Chains A and B, each alone.
Chain A
Amino acid sequence: MSQLGILYQYEMKKILKKKMTWISFCGVVLVMAFCCFGVLLNRYVLTDAQTGESVYYSAYERAMDRQARGEKFNGRLIDDILLREMQVAYADVQTQEQERVTDNATINVSAVTTAEVPDDPAEAERLSQQRRQYEAIYNYVRGVVGNEEVHTVDAAAFYRARQQMIRDYEHALCLTEGEQEYWRRHEAQTPCVYYWDMGVSMMLVSSRTMLALTALMIGMVFSGVFADEHIRKTDQLVLCSRHGRGMLYLAKLLASMTLAAAAALLVGGATLLSFGVVYGYGESWNAPLQIYLESSPFALTMGQGIVILLVLLLLATVLHSVLALVLSCWTRSGVASMSLMMVYTLGTLFANVPERLRLLSQCLYLSPAKAVCASAFYDARLVGGAGHYLTFWQTGMLLYPLLALGLALLGGLIYRRWQISGR
């Protein structure tokens, strides 16, 4: 085995022997499990209006019940026939939007859905069952056309409304003419086919949590890679050895990147597997992305979307590991570099820049904490020009390795200048 291989093994060993590594990894797994499945611990109660009897059922049972009903529409084209069936089922339902000005002067729009309840309990139950059969389609269509039009909309109007949502969002994102022209040629085609999407949509929703948690874990684990050498005073031995300034840096970098990638794959893989076991993916893997993200212009399936997000998660996690290493090398303090990693992660997660400040906003939204989530498939802003463009996620896939490489080179320069003084 080459010297690099031996040093790589020892650097892996150093990181894996730290208690912090295992504590933070187990913490990420636990928090992730709670974020994804904590909601299933809820309990619901259904009270019969006439007898007054209450039936308790779990959130899991409720989810499975909804899934069983939703899956009956798998593969159905969203066309006039399906919309009409849904509207008949919901014929006795009226939905009214109510506007209310709150204390802080914002307008809350809430929808009140009322149904006429027949005197005959059997008839009331039949109508209720009928409505519940089409609940998935009703909710999906209502999300596109609104609470009132859902009762009258036809397929042409439905797709026009969806198209309008995309145009409105493009306008809000301040797209250039070139970008708009690009999306005219590349955006998802209509009509689309319906699939029940609980498993895949939960996976898309969880990607941001996965990214944030792995970034924090990396901040905790890798902030000590160089700082510990300084604190333990082993740097003076290491730096005056033959491979101490060149090959060792590479070994530390490779070991950290490998472990970061493994952590991302483990967290991502475990989450994917867990949602698969609980909800199943079935045919929804091939469902168009627009079933979950109505105003997304991307012509992708849900499965492709998940794979893209997992690859972005992997690349972003590797980038974060390199960033943590550079900060550790620069500050020579585990606490300082960990704090900087937290500021970076939470800052990019919660910061907001208006879309009209196009460049600044796009840069912020390309940061991993903003990009590794479902919004990667909303954001129609492109990078490039003269007819050659990269979409949001394509840019991320190119940008993150390049940034990691740039940071690694910067870290190498800092490390080579490392001096032992003042002890």
Chain B
Amino acid sequence: MDHVSLKLRTGVYGLLGANGAGKTTLMRMICGILRPSEGRITLAGQPETCEAYWSMLGYLPQDFGYYPDFTGREFLLYMAALKGLPKFRARQKSEELLELVGLTGQAGKKIKTYSGGMKQRLGIAQALLNDPCLLVLDEPTAGLDPKERVRFRDLIAQAGQSSIVLLSTHIVSDVEHIADSILMMKEGRLIYQGKWEESRGDLEAFYLEQFGDETERRDGEEKPPRGQGWQRQKPFREALTAEIDREYSPGNGTGGEDTEAETGGRQK
């Protein structure tokens, strides 16, 4: 990360960038599971390394891990206990979310028998267990079929009405319909943030203009000359000096200006 500064309000934020742009690193830092070498992250005044912060957070990682011998229901109840939900509330919320993601019929089956799409749906369900104020979704639509993708987008759009949703992807079509704001990353830096205005043209065209070159190189396994192209990203990961600042004021849950978050960063 380098010079990253963000202030987030209620709504859906689409985080775009090629592979290795730093999307996952930024999300891990926001989730408090990867410590930045410099800078700070806050949510409602709480730093990202305290229980109060984590109790407001929902996270679906890119590579969603699960316990293969747990059933879907057991997994949600376990995650609910980790998130500090009382037992009765945990049961109630788990059933609600199983219904929401269409897994009620398979809730008693072991997760190792689930398809990729079912696991991903279970992943989103666990992220929503604690009604998070900040929902971080790292490439949530990867591995989903078109029907499930549409269903997923609806879920995310619904969550974005009352929470901050940070959605990472390198598939432009996933975000252009549901994201209120776009964050675009390249080589550890934010190269664009804000609403995408029609006057700027097509988002996908802009994206390809920024990343097309890198994407082609990666797909073709073609190694660029030393010191050029995507190889330059490595030093940024090693010299991580971003300050990330976040403020959050819990509102009435209806969104708008009452819910606000800020993330800012600068190199010291």
Contact = CB atoms under 8 A, between A and B. Distances in A.
Interface of A: 1, 3, 6-7, 10, 13-14, 17, 229, 232-244, 246, 248, 419-421, 423
A233 B63 contact: yes
A278 to B, nearest CB: 39
B35 A240 contact: no
A1 B77 CA distance: 13
A236 B34 CA distance: 10
Interface stretch (B53-61, B154-162, B179-187): B53-61
Contacts of A420: 28, 33-34
B114 to A, nearest CB: 14
Interface string B72-113: 001001110111100100000000000000000000000000
A10 B54 contact: no
Q: Which of A7, A10, A14, A248 has most B Cβ within 10 Å? A: A10
B65 A232 contact: yes
A233 B82 contact: no
B42 interface: no
A237 B61 contact: yes
Contacts of A419: 33-35
A246 B51 contact: yes
Given A3-B81, A237-B59, 10 more contacts: A7-B78, A10-B81, A13-B74, A233-B63, A234-B65, A235-B33, A239-B33, A240-B59, A242-B51, A421-B34
Given A240-B54, A419-B33, A420-B34, A248 B67 contact: no
Contacts of A240: 31-33, 54, 57, 59
A236 B54 contact: no
B206 interface: no
Q: Which of B33, B54, B74, B87 has most A Cβ within 10 Å? A: B33
B33 A7 contact: no
Nearest to A238: B82
Interface residues of B, number: 30
A233 B81 contact: no
Contact of A3 (B57, B74, B84): B84
Contacts of A233: 61, 63-65
B66 interface: yes
B69 A244 contact: no
B259 interface: no
B82 A241 contact: yes
Q: Which of B35, B55, B78, B126 has most A Cβ within 10 Å? A: B78
Contacts of A243: 51, 81-84
Nearest to A229: B65
A421 B55 CA distance: 22
A248 B87 CA distance: 16
A241 B67 contact: no
Interface string B19-39: 000000000100111110000
B79 A235 contact: no
Q: Which of A3, A7, A242, A419 has most B Cβ within 10 Å? A: A242
Contacts of A14: 67, 69
A423 B63 contact: yes
B28 A7 contact: no
A39 B8 CA distance: 74
A244 B82 contact: yes
A235 B66 CA distance: 10
Contacts of B32: 239-240
B113 to A, nearest CB: 15
